[in-house]
Chains A and B, each alone.
Chain A
């Protein structure tokens, strides 16, 4: 049974490696904006897709690793098939290597997000089917109504497959034949695609919160389901805020505008709750997991605010196609997804807080804030001059240059921060033999008082450092 957690751990370690290498290509790509032609060996056409694919791989690998790791503990029964989990990992890594090789060889699929040749989508889909099968076979053993995170995971997993398939519809002439339809369907798929990986990540946040505090009521509360419902609705119907300027049918854009605005409810709730969030943050200071969960709250707040603003068509007019969109993307994937996944990584590896980790944590968050602000600044310059002046592209970019330089410099800080965190993550994961020590973290982040029922099933199965979940 040892293999069960090892496959999960394999996913997480592979995810951390993908993150660090992806971030390195990101640094190269950002400097190529500052100094054209720098690092000639990996030109921008290659560094960009290497960056994008590897960091998306980080999100998927680590989120999926978390599902394989936590699911048996949640359900109180072993994973339906550990062998399939291994197979999934093997296919993922194999495909990942093939993707990287194809980029280096200059073979592209040339689509936003998925810039690799579309044939490589086949093993991705195949391995994903293994996950779906394994997930539902295991989750069905759960007794009683599903907590919100199981809904989120189940939905995220299934919808990734649906939207990934949809993202490949361009292979059929009906879609490519008409440019506008092509763009519309492409972004319909992409909007839902990010929505589905967000469900995986937010589900993970809820699980980590539950398991680190011992409070099982959170994920069964009305609010948890309300948030899930809103997120899901936005995944399904909110995608067209990405394409307001595309001459798609009006109903598509009106629907997206209306649906997007429902997220004000979430923002309002966060504002109402800020005091509680702060207190919770203080309680979590004793572990890296608690710190990262708290950081993710802050990033959710900042990004949700930005996302809501740029989903208003009149504002979007100025921000669309500018670096503000990039700020939003980086804020969500790094600020929110990556912090949550780090919370999960450090929970699984039960890394103690060291000086290095503390420095890494602050370097990561501080650099990210500067990075984010620089992108917003560059975007404001570009949006303003693009819409309201007749300046040519290069003159506009010259005006935005200080921000672009700031972005590239803070990107280096971000990379160093990630390096410190990743290194600690990999080291502690490799050092933790057997089932990682959840209970240690548990005591560090325990909440006193009512609302913390004793941890059940999953928690109790760890006896000694090499014992894992019993069938």
Chain B
């Protein structure tokens, strides 16, 4: 970044910012990071626990979702692979739902491979997808942009 051009060579303390002050700022940042981490682990969500907590079967489904590496092709809230569609609301979306999802999971399509998922596993996967659906809506399509570069209803899209 063309750093060289603005460096004053030969000055005693080129950074002009002593080691002690550097250390202070550094460890203060780390302190804040620890606080932030604690808060994130405990208060990270606005979704009530009742909606976000997974049932036993959904947990099994989540583990299967990892085992079959569905994330290679699918996303939740836009996070994951890009070959297939986002699955956040596949269970709650109009015209889709558990039976619809189960067909894809069991048999695949021309684009999605059949992965040898059993009936019982498919049910667990569908339960998991249902639990995800209950946490919110993605993509956000009902928003109000603000002058601050943000949008209102950042995540609640209840029409």
Q: What is the interface of chain A, defined by CB distance below 8 A to chain B?
A: 32-33, 36-37, 43-45, 48-49, 108-112, 115, 145, 148, 151, 166, 169, 174-181, 183-185, 187-188, 209, 213, 215, 217-218, 220-225, 227, 229, 232-233, 236-237, 242-253, 255, 257, 266, 269-270, 273-274, 276-277, 280, 297, 300, 312-315, 317, 320-323, 325-326, 386-388, 392-394, 447, 450-451, 453
Contacts and interface: CB of A to CB of B under 8 A. Distances in A.
Interface of B: 1-9, 14-17, 19, 22, 25-26, 29-30, 32-33, 36-37, 39-41, 43-47, 49, 52-54, 59, 62, 65-73, 75-86, 110-111, 113, 115, 131-132, 135-136, 138-141, 143, 145-146, 149-151, 154-156
**4 interchain residue pairs of minimum CB distance:** A321-B78, A110-B66, A276-B2, A393-B85
Contact of A221 (B6, B19, B66, B136): B6
A447 B83 contact: no
A187 B32 CA distance: 18
A178 B45 contact: yes
B44 A252 contact: yes
B72 A222 contact: no
Given A245-B138, A276-B5, A224 B15 contact: yes
Contacts of B78: 245, 320-322, 325
Given A178-B47, A245-B138, A453-B9, 20 more contacts: A45-B69, A45-B113, A110-B69, A148-B15, A178-B49, A185-B44, A209-B3, A218-B3, A218-B7, A220-B15, A247-B155, A250-B46, A250-B154, A252-B40, A276-B5, A277-B2, A280-B2, A321-B79, A393-B86, A451-B7
A110 B80 CA distance: 10
Nearest to A449: B9
A225 B4 contact: no
Contacts of A225: 15, 17, 22
A179 B132 contact: yes
The SS class assigned to the A binding surface is helix
The CB with the most chain B CB atoms within 10 A, among A222, A243, A245, A453, is that of: A245
Contacts of A244: 154
Contacts of A312: 149
A450 B68 contact: no
Contacts of B77: 183, 243, 245-246, 321
Among B4, B140, B146, chain A packs the most CB atoms within 10 A around the CB of: B4
A365 B108 CA distance: 38
A148 B14 CA distance: 11
A215 B7 CA distance: 10
A48 B81 contact: yes
Nearest to A202: B1
Given A185-B41, A225-B17, A245-B140, A269 B66 contact: no
B66 A270 contact: no
A224 B59 CA distance: 47
A229 B24 CA distance: 12
A252 to B, nearest CB: 6
A257 B148 CA distance: 10
A411 to B, nearest CB: 14
Given A44-B83, A110-B69, A453-B9, A253 B45 contact: no
Given A177-B53, A220-B14, A386 B139 contact: yes
Contacts of B110: 36
A336 B115 CA distance: 37
Interface centre among B2, B46, B71, B145 (most CB of A within 10 A): B2
A33 B83 contact: yes
B137 to A, nearest CB: 9
Nearest to B112: A36
A451 B139 CA distance: 53
Contacts of A217: 4, 7-9, 14
A339 B143 CA distance: 40
B19 A145 contact: yes
B62 to A, nearest CB: 6
B22 to A, nearest CB: 7
Most B Cβ at <10 Å: residue of A184, A247, A274, A387? A247
Contacts of A451: 4, 7, 9
A110 B1 contact: no
B72 A221 contact: no
Nearest to A257: B150
Given A221-B3, A394-B111, A314 B69 contact: no
B52 to A, nearest CB: 4
